[in-house]
Structure formats: C-alpha cells, structure tokens
C-alpha cells in the first residue's frame, strides 16, 4: 500500500515538475512566438557584434521575419488574465493601453529595420542603430510588464 502511494506521489511530482504548457493555449502560443523572436533577434544582433559572420541576405530575411513575429504575440494575451506559468505581470491587464503602446513601438522599429534592409548590399555599420532600437523596444516592455 505504502509503496503504491509512493509511486503515485512520485508520478504526480514528475507531472508537476514538467508542468508542460499546452502549446495550443494562448500562453503556449505567445511563448513560442516570443522564443522565436528572441532567436531571430539574437542571430541578427550576433551578426552585427561579430559573434556570427555577417550575411546581408540573412540579416534582411531576419528583419522581415522579426517584423512579422512582432505583430503576433499580442492577440494571444486574453482580455482576462490567464492561469499558468506566465511571466507577465498583472500590469499587462491593468494598464492595457500602455502595454499596447509598447507593442506598437516594437512593430514600428521592426518596420524601420525592414525598410533599411531593403537595399542590398547592406553595410553592417548602418544597421547598428536600427537594431539597437529593436532591442531597446523589447527591453522597455519587459522592464515594465514582465517578471524576471
């Protein structure tokens, strides 16, 4: 009896430990988009900082992808705060206008980045400022609206 209880308890613990977020829930969907945004922007920033070889074509493709992604997470924040392992602060729902402002700011700067990457060949030096603006837009919102 005791042994069986232990097995059940361990199984329950293991389940809690993975606590898998349903990938099709709003939380799961926005997390996936944010992760993709991070990966894309890190590769682009890496090219400008010399961590990755600079490739103007790849950078331009990254800019288009990032701009597309930048429009996507917001629809997956429900009107009412959802449960689960969210790192969003309650302020996302309490100060929605400000949250949306910062989302629009990101979309604006990713749009600018696409514009400057349209004329090939690209000069890495000229991409630094527009890329910095994108990274600053991510950071500004995380500082106000995400728990670290």
Which residues would be at the binding site for ligand HEC (CB under 6 A)? 27, 30-31, 34-35, 37-38, 41, 86-88, 92, 99, 102-103, 106, 134, 137-138, 141-142, 145-146
Q: Are 27 and 82 in contact (CB under 8 A)?
A: yes
Of the pair 5, 80, the CB lying nearest ligand HEC is at: 80
Of the pair 9, 132, the CB lying nearest ligand HEC is at: 132
Q: How far apart are CA 22 and CA 29, in angstroms?
A: 9
Q: From its phi and psi, is residue 145 left (phi > 0), alpha (psi between -120 and 50) or beta?
A: alpha
Of the pair 31, 122, the CB lying nearest ligand HEC is at: 31
End-to-end CA distance of the chain: 43
Q: How far is the CB of 15 from ligand HEC (least distance, A)?
A: 20
Q: Are 102 and 141 in contact (CB under 8 A)?
A: yes
Q: How far is the CB of 74 from ligand HEC (least distance, A)?
A: 7
Of the pair 9, 129, the CB lying nearest ligand HEC is at: 129
């Amino acid at each position: 009896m005791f042994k069986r209880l232990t097995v059940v308890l361990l199984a329950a613990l293991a389940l809690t430990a993975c606590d898998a977020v349903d990938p099709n829930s709003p939380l799961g969907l926005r997390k996936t988009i944010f992760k993709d945004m991070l990966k894309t922007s890190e590769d682009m920033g890496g090219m400008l900082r010399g961590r990755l070889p600079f490739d103007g074509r790849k950078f331009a493709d990254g800019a288009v992808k990032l701009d597309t992604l930048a429009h996507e997470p917001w629809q997956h924040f429900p009107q009412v705060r959802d449960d689960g392992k969210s790192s969003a602060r309650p302020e996302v729902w309490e100060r929605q206008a400000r949250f949306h402002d910062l989302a629009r700011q990101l979309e604006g700067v990713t749009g600018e980045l696409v514009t400057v990457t349209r004329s090939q060949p690209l000069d890495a030096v000229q991409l630094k400022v527009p890329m910095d603006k994108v990274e600053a837009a991510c950071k500004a919102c995380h500082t106000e609206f995400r728990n670290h």
